């Protein structure tokens, strides 16, 4: 269960309204790496965590903080939109190039749909969606997604920092940048700890390493003609997992058969000349098990 404190985690006071920037900030609300993403990603990871204890509690601490980040930036967007020339007519916009260039760059839905407020969308007006997040239950894979999200979040915040000279906006972004720095370090640390605790290894998942075709876990296949790909540390030497050696395969011949599709079901009307014969059917498991016995008995 959640509780809400009306105060923002950190100040979100622009010196002056700036409707152009209000559009750009939408990326940090509803973009693929915006605050809605880390909020929902961490919440679902926390709820899906299978071990009571430090990992689950950490995830929920950070998840709960992120809801407040959506709130901070949403508030900032509303304040940046104060007094925006949202209802200036096109004629007025075109008549005054100053107004005109502002109108052109605004997010029109912030006015038409939200009445001068924030949207759950990114800076191109595309709505946030649930496919942006992952909570696989495998904490190594999930924490890597978290490091990635915080890294992209900080890269985008840094870019946005450069797009304004408003001291109030920058003050808030300096807080966000710092949290993104911490959170990158934090998830890196948590990955190290998962490994130290013996819960996960270098490769996710820590399984099927003996079943997989180990001979194909070694070499980069040289399939583009750039000459420098083999100059990296990934072309030779031990791999980070300590189990494999890196290689660089320049003689890249396909190992499989010619790609082909099987004979089609005539009732599906694929174009077909009959050259591959009739399709065989799937194995539905009737040879054994309950249904098989049934068929034997009854028919």
Smallest separation, CB 44 to a copy of itself (Å): 6
The tokens describing 48, both together, are 């899906």
Judge whether 158 and 195 are in contact, CB under 8 Å: no
**Residue 38 or 80 having the CB closest to a copy of itself:** 80
Q: Which of 38, 195, 251, 295 binds a copy of itself (CB under 8 A)?
A: 295
Q: Which of residues 176-195 bind a copy of itself (CB under 8 A)?
A: 177-179, 181-182, 184-186, 188-190, 192-194
The CB-of-38 to a copy of itself minimum distance in angstroms stands at: 13
Query: Do the Cβ atoms of 80 and 18 come closer than 8 Å?
Result: yes
Q: Which pair of tokens denotes residue 187?
A: 């998830």
Print the binding letters for residues 41-70 with a copy of itself: x by CB under 8 A, - otherwise.
Answer: --xx-xxxxxxxxxxxxx-xxxxxx-xx-x
Q: Which of residues 89-108 bind a copy of itself (CB under 8 A)?
A: 89-105, 107-108
Full DSSP string of 15-62: SS--HHHHHHHHHHHHSTTSHHHHHHHHHHHHHH--STTHHHHHHHHH
| DSSP state for residue 108 in the 8-state scheme | H
Mapped onto helix, strand or coil, the DSSP state of residue 157 is helix
- 35 sits near a copy of itself (criterion: CB under 8 A): no
Task: Report if residue 20 touches a copy of itself, rule: CB under 8 A.
Answer: yes
Size of site (CB under 8 A) for a copy of itself: 233
Supply 10's token pair: 């950190």
Q: How far is the CB of 62 from a copy of itself (least distance, A)?
A: 7
**How far apart, in whole angstroms, are the C-alpha atoms of residue 255 and residue 237?**
25
Q: Which two tokens stand for residue 208?
A: 């099927």
Tell me the per-residue interface mask from 251 to 290 with a copy of itself, x by CB under 8 A, - otherwise: -x-xxxxxxxxxxxx-xxxxxxx-xx--xxxxxxxx-xxx
In the complex, the smallest distance separating the C-beta of residue 272 from a copy of itself, rounded to whole angstroms, is 5
């Amino acid at each position: 269960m959640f509780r809400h404190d009306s105060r923002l985690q950190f100040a979100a006071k622009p010196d002056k309204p700036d409707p152009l920037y209000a559009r750009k900030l939408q990326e940090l609300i509803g973009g693929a790496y915006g605050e809605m993403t880390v909020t929902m990603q961490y919440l679902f990871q926390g709820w899906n965590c299978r071990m009571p204890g430090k990992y689950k509690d950490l995830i929920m601490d950070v998840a709960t903080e992120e809801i407040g980040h959506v709130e901070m930036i949403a508030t900032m967007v509303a304040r940046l939109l104060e007094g925006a020339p949202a209802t200036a007519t096109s004629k007025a916009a075109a008549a005054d190039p100053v107004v005109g260039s502002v109108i052109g760059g605004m997010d029109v839905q912030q006015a038409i749909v939200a009445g001068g407020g924030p949207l759950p969308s990114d800076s191109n007006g595309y709505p946030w969606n649930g496919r942006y997040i992952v909570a696989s239950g495998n904490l190594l894979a999930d924490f890597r997604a978290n490091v990635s999200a915080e890294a992209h979040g900080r890269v985008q915040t840094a870019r946005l920092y450069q797009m304004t000279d408003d001291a109030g906006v920058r003050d808030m972004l300096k807080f966000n940048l710092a949290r993104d720095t911490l959170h990158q370090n934090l998830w890196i640390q948590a990955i190290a700890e998962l490994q130290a605790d013996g819960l996960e290894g270098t490769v996710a998942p820590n399984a099927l390493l003996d079943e997989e075709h180990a001979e194909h876990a070694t070499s980069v296949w040289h399939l583009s003609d750039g000459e420098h790909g083999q100059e990296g540390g990934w072309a030779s030497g031990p791999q980070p997992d300590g189990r494999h050696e890196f290689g660089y395969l320049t003689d890249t011949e396909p190992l499989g058969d010619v790609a082909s599709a099987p004979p089609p079901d005539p009732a599906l009307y694929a174009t077909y000349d009959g050259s591959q014969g009739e399709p065989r059917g799937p194995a539905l498991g009737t040879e054994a098990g309950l249904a098989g016995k049934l068929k034997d008995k009854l028919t």
